[in-house]
């Protein structure tokens, strides 16, 4: 009588070409690949589904069928290492960057990065953002030295592609239309309360917020932004800094 | 033996209301939240609430304030022939401490091998060896959580030649050794019995019904195996089927009203459809009470 180890069961589950472990049978004692296929399919399909739920715009761009095949390759190479699937597939963008069949869609990994950031923000710890009216109460002399504590959900992404525009068109937030001017877009993702917000950043904005996230003072952030873009709009970015709820505390 | 007996006595008992409950789906939150629902409790999958914050916790906290709660784990891999994942057990403990559910349950199945999570409830052979491992794992979970857990019978598609113990006896033995309660999934009984050409009524006759603290009801789909024999899939994507309702009536007729969950996890309908399923179960539970009184 065959003893089936869970190691051999698991191997056969993950490899569709592997034979069904000997010693598993239907009620009549006959081997039944179709019965074993139920388990195989449950494992593969549920993990592909988990990725599709996390990366809906990416799926929309390549199509459901292509996405499922691509997700299948990812799942085989990078099976989850935790029963908590909320964070499964965080490195999907890196996989896409190296996945030969999508090399022509150079922007695809950045769309996936944006979706990953949104998912992370959705599940991040809750924290009350700074009051939007705070700026008016601070003596301008101290502002330059002020340091800010980023919201746990905050993420700044930079892309040489119009990543937000592409995402919006494939997330049902904007009508699909040809992109006339192919310009890079930087983005700030944050969930100040219960809704994940995506803000397109103006020139120098990514440098500004990235510097703040590093724990450096506002003055440094403004310098970094201006060094990158002479047309950096400090007033607009100070307003966004508070209105977006991207920070939870200020140290003067 | 004495020491473990004392341990069992200190566990917090499962105490769901003896009414119908519904598996909570976030898409139903607004419909549920707008008015009081004829639902005794909600059940959630533990692993969906293991993020740090955000809408999942906000919704669960809101539901928790108004309803009894069952936390149902799907990833602890109690039937694995390797040690339990202590990190995951700690997450479950934190979740139970945060929400103080009326019940915690898990499956007689495995889902992790080595460090790879397979995201399905996989079957195990029923032998003296696997019985000892499962009982030790259940014991470890109950000790860690400080509460009685419920162990659920699986829906299975294949049989192990090496099995030497009936599933019903296996569950009875785990319950006897650990003091755990049982979660009787009546749909799983019907699915597995059909798949293995067994009589579901005979299965129920052998089942340790005195240990049942909760019942699961759900739908299944139908296909055939390589030999043209019926193969039912535990798909949770349809209303509860008639033969499953019949088995359910038989069970509550014998043991009286018990917390009963409607599970619907795929092709999820609008909230009123689920609520109607719960109301149908509630009506049967009330009938049982009426007959007991009469």
In chain A (252 residues long), the average pLDDT of successive 10-residue segments reads 87 91 93 95 96 98 98 97 96 98 98 98 97 80 92 98 98 92 96 98 98 97 97 95 95 86
* B119: nearest CB among A47, A191, A194: A47
- CA pair distance B269, B145, nearest whole angstrom: 34
Q: Do A124 and B57 touch (CB under 8 A)?
A: no
Q: Is residue B6 part of a domain?
A: no
- CA pair distance B104, B102, nearest whole angstrom: 7
pLDDT the model gives residue B9: 56
Q: Is residue B198 part of a domain?
A: yes
Which pLDDT tens digit goes with each residue over B104-113? 999 999 999 9
Tokens for B208, please give them. 């340790």
Which pLDDT tens digit goes with each residue over A136-178? 788 878 889 999 999 999 999 999 999 999 999 999 999 999 9
> How many residues are recorded in chain B?
294
Q: Closest residue of B to A81, CA-based?
A: B116
Q: Is residue B144 part of a domain?
A: yes
Residue among B199, B127, B194, B200 at smallest CA distance from B160: B127
Average pLDDT over residues B110-124: 97
Q: Is residue B101 part of a domain?
A: yes
Q: Closest residue of B to A42, CA-based?
A: B120
Q: Is residue B7 part of a domain?
A: no
8 A C-beta contact, residue B30 and residue B81: no
pLDDT the model gives residue B102: 98
pLDDT beyond 50 at B1: no
Tokens for B187, please give them. 């749909």
Other residues' Cβ atoms within 10 Å of the Cβ of residue B38: 12
pLDDT the model gives residue B4: 52
Average pLDDT of the residues of chain B: 95
Q: Do A43 and B47 touch (CB under 8 A)?
A: no
* A30: nearest CB among B47, B119, B227: B227
Q: Is residue A211 part of a domain?
A: yes
pLDDT the model gives residue B144: 97
Q: How far is CA A213 from CA A135, A159, A224, B282, in A?
A: 18, 18, 13, 53
* Chain B hits for A10, Cβ within 8 Å: 113-114, 116, 118
* Chain B hits for A26, Cβ within 8 Å: 158-159, 196, 225-227, 229
β-partners of residue B185 are: B216
3-class DSSP assignment, residue A150: strand
HSE at residue B155, side-chain half, CA atoms within 13 A, is 24
Average pLDDT of the residues of chain A: 95
- Find the helix or strand (DSSP H, E) in which A247 lies: strand A247-251
Helix residue spans in A22-160 (DSSP H): 33-54, 56-62, 64-77, 92-97, 108-123, 134-137, 140-143
pLDDT beyond 70 at B6: no
- CA pair distance A200, A189, nearest whole angstrom: 9
Choose from B117, B192, B193, B267 for mutation: most chain A CBs within 10 A: B117
Average pLDDT over residues B140-165: 97
DSSP state for residue A2 in the 8-state scheme: P
8 A C-beta contact, residue B112 and residue B80: yes
Q: Which domain holds residue B95?
A: 14-293
Share of chain A above pLDDT 70, in %: 100
Q: Is residue B206 part of a domain?
A: yes
- Count structural domains, chain B: 1
8 A C-beta contact, residue B149 and residue B141: yes
* Chain A hits for B120, Cβ within 8 Å: 39, 42-43, 46
Q: Which domain holds residue A213?
A: 126-252
The region, left, alpha or beta by phi > 0 then psi within -120 to 50, assigned to residue B100 is left
Tokens for B178, please give them. 């650990």
Residue among A70, A67, A158, A149 at smallest CA distance from A110: A158
* Chain A hits for B118, Cβ within 8 Å: 10, 13-14, 43, 79
- CA pair distance B161, A191, nearest whole angstrom: 53
Tokens for A164, please give them. 């937000």
- CA pair distance B216, B185, nearest whole angstrom: 4
DSSP state for residue A4 in the 8-state scheme: P
Q: Do A83 and B116 touch (CB under 8 A)?
A: no
* A9: nearest CB among B91, B122, B157: B122
Q: Do A26 and B159 touch (CB under 8 A)?
A: yes
Which are the contacts of B109, defined by CB distance < 8 A and separation ≥ 6?
B77, B78, B79, B121, B122, B123, B124, B154
Q: Is residue A236 part of a domain?
A: yes
Q: Is residue A19 part of a domain?
A: no
For this complex, say whether ipTM is above 0.90.
Answer: yes
Q: Is residue B81 part of a domain?
A: yes
Tokens for B255, please give them. 């043991």
Q: Do A4 and B157 touch (CB under 8 A)?
A: no
Sign, Cα dihedral of B42, B43, B48, B49: positive
Q: Is residue A24 part of a domain?
A: no
3-state secondary structure chain B: CHHHHHHHHCCECCCCCCCEEEECCHHHHHHHHCCCCCCCEEEEEHHHHCCCCCHHHHHHHHHHHHCEEEEECCCCCCCCCCCCCHHHHHHHHHHHHHHCCCEEEEECCEEEECCEEEEEEECCCCCHHHHHHHHHHHHHHHHHHCECEEEECCCCCCEECCCCCCHHHHHHHHHHHHCCEEEEEHHHHHHHHHHCCCCHHHHHHHCCHHHEEEEEEECCEEEECCCCCEEEECCCCCCCCHHHHHHHHHHHHHHCCCEEEEECCCCCCCHHHHHHHHHHHHHHHHHHHHHHHC
Q: Is residue A146 part of a domain?
A: yes
Residue among B238, B160, B239, B241 at smallest CA distance from B200: B241
pLDDT the model gives residue B105: 98
Question: Taking each helix axis from N to C terminus, what angle separates B55-66 and B86-99, rounded to the nearest 10 degrees?
Answer: 50
* Chain A hits for B76, Cβ within 8 Å: 83
Q: Is residue A50 part of a domain?
A: no
Report the gap between the CA of A217 and the closest CA in chain B (Å): 28
Q: Is residue B28 part of a domain?
A: yes
- Count structural domains, chain A: 1
pLDDT the model gives residue A134: 79
Residue A160 dihedral angles phi and psi, to the nearest 5°: -75, 0
Q: Do B229 and A27 touch (CB under 8 A)?
A: yes
Q: Map tokens 């904005």 to a residue.
A: A205
β-partners of residue A199 are: A188
CATH number at residue B61: 3.20.20.150
8 A C-beta contact, residue B16 and residue B70: yes
CB pairs under 8 A between A and B: 151
- CA pair distance B116, A77, nearest whole angstrom: 11
């Amino acid at each position: 009588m065959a003893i089936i180890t869970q190691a051999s069961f698991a191997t056969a589950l993950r490899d569709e070409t592997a034979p069904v472990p000997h010693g598993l049978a239907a009620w009549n004692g006959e081997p039944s690949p179709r019965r074993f296929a139920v388990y195989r399919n449950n494992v593969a399909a549920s993990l592909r589904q988990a990725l599709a739920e996390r990366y809906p715009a990416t799926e929309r761009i390549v199509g459901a069928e292509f996405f499922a095949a691509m997700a299948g390759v990812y799942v085989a190479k990078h099976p989850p290492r935790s029963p908590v699937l909320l964070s499964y597939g965080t490195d999907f963008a890196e996989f896409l960057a190296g996945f030969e069949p999508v090399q022509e869609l150079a922007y695809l990994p950045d769309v996936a990065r944006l979706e990953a950031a949104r998912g992370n923000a959705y599940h991040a710890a809750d924290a009350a953002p700074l009051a939007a009216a705070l700026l008016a109460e601070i003596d301008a002399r101290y502002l330059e030295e002020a340091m800010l504590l980023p919201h746990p959900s905050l993420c700044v992404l930079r892309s040489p592609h119009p990543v937000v525009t592409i995402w919006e068109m494939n997330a049902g937030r904007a009508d699909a239309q040809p992109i006339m001017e192919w310009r890079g877009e930087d983005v700030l993702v944050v969930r100040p309360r219960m809704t994940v917000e995506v803000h397109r950043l103006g020139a120098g904005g990514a440098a500004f917020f990235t510097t703040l996230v590093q724990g450096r003072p506002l003055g440094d952030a403004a310098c970094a932004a201006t060094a990158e873009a002479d047309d950096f709009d400090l007033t607009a970015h100070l307003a966004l800094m508070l209105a977006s709820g991207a920070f939870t505390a200020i140290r003067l | 033996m004495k020491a473990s007996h004392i341990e069992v006595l200190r566990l917090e008992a499962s105490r769901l209301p003896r009414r119908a409950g519904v598996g909570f789906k976030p898409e139903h939150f607004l419909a549920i939240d707008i008015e009081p629902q004829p639902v005794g409790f909600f059940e959630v999958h533990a692993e969906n609430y293991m993020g740090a914050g955000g809408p999942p916790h906000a919704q669960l906290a809101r539901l928790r304030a108004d309803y009894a709660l069952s936390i149902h784990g799907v990833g602890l891999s109690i039937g694995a022939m390797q040690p339990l994942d202590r990190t995951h057990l700690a997450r479950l403990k934190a979740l139970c401490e945060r929400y103080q559910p009326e019940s915690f349950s898990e499956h007689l199945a495995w889902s992790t091998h080595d460090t790879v999570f397979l995201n399905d409830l996989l079957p195990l052979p029923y032998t003296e060896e696997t019985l000892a491992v499962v009982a030790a794992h259940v014991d470890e979970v109950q000790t860690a959580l400080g509460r009685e857990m419920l162990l659920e019978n699986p829906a299975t598609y294949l049989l192990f030649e090496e099995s030497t113990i009936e599933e019903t006896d296996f569950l009875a033995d785990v319950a006897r050794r650990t003091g755990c309660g049982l979660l009787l999934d009546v749909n799983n009984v019907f699915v597995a019995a059909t798949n293995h050409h067994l009589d579901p009524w005979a299965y129920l006759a052998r089942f340790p019904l005195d240990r049942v603290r909760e019942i699961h009801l759900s739908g299944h789909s139908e296909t055939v195996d390589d030999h043209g024999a019926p193969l039912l899939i535990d798909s949770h994507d349809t209303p509860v089927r008639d033969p499953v309702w019949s088995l359910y009536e038989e069970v509550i007729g014998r043991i009286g009203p018990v917390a009963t969950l409607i599970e619907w996890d795929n092709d999820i309908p609008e909230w009123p459809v689920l609520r109607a399923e719960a109301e149908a179960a509630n009506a049967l539970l009330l009938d049982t009470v009426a007959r007991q009184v009469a």
